[in-house]
Amino acid sequence: MDEQSIQNAVILGVDTHLDVNVGAVISHSGKLLGTLATATSAKGYTELLTWAGSLGCLRRAGVEGTGTYGAGLARVSRGQGIEVFEVNRPDRSKRRLKGKSDPTDAENAARSVLSGEETAIPKTQSGAAEAMRTISVARRSAVKAKTQAINQLRAILVSAPQEFANVF
């Protein structure tokens, strides 16, 4: 990277949630350039990345929860050539003492990437391992539904009038 690219580099940090992602962008020197909340959707991901890119050369992002709420954003970011790092959620006891703030959490995510503290590369959620995970989740769900159905039928039989119980 040349000197001009380094001077223009920005880092995106994102605090992810079910319905909204809160992003914060910092410069290469650590100055907060802005925050933005977007919907957790393909349109929201594009809006967030476009906004962050408008503030400088976006090449790195720290995203909380890349295996859950941040999975879609991480996938879209990687597709745009952005290096994504998994950022651990802040310690809850510390957050309670200091107060909860999504913009602050997002800024801290960006700062942890800038400092080199966060180096974990999120899983791509593809390939044989992901296929097996999906099958395993579906199997567990099917077994649970079967068990619930059997338990419901047994409960009905126990409380049903005798003439109906004999039919089964």
In tens digits, the chain (168 residues) has pLDDT values of 556 666 789 999 999 999 999 999 999 999 999 999 999 999 999 999 999 999 999 999 999 988 889 989 999 999 999 999 998 876 565 556 556 788 899 999 999 999 887 666 766 666 777 778 778 889 999 999 999 999 998 888 788 777 766 665
Measuring CA to CA, how many Å separate 68 from each of 15, 64, 71, 95, 122? 12, 9, 5, 21, 11
Hey, which bits of 3-158 come out as E strands? 9-16, 20-27, 32-39, 57-64, 83-87
Q: Strands 9-16 and 57-64, how do they pair?
A: parallel
Residue 29 CB-density burial (10 A; 0-12 exposed, 13-18 middle, 19+ buried): exposed
**Backbone angles phi and psi of 32, in degrees to 5:** -70, 125
Q: Which CATH architecture fits 3-114?
A: 2-Layer Sandwich (3.30)
Could you tell me the pTM of the whole model? 0.71
Report residue 18 CA to chain centroid gap: 8
Q: Per DSSP, what are the bridge partners of residue 60?
A: 11, 83
Q: Give me the residue spans of the domains in the chain.
A: 3-114, 128-165
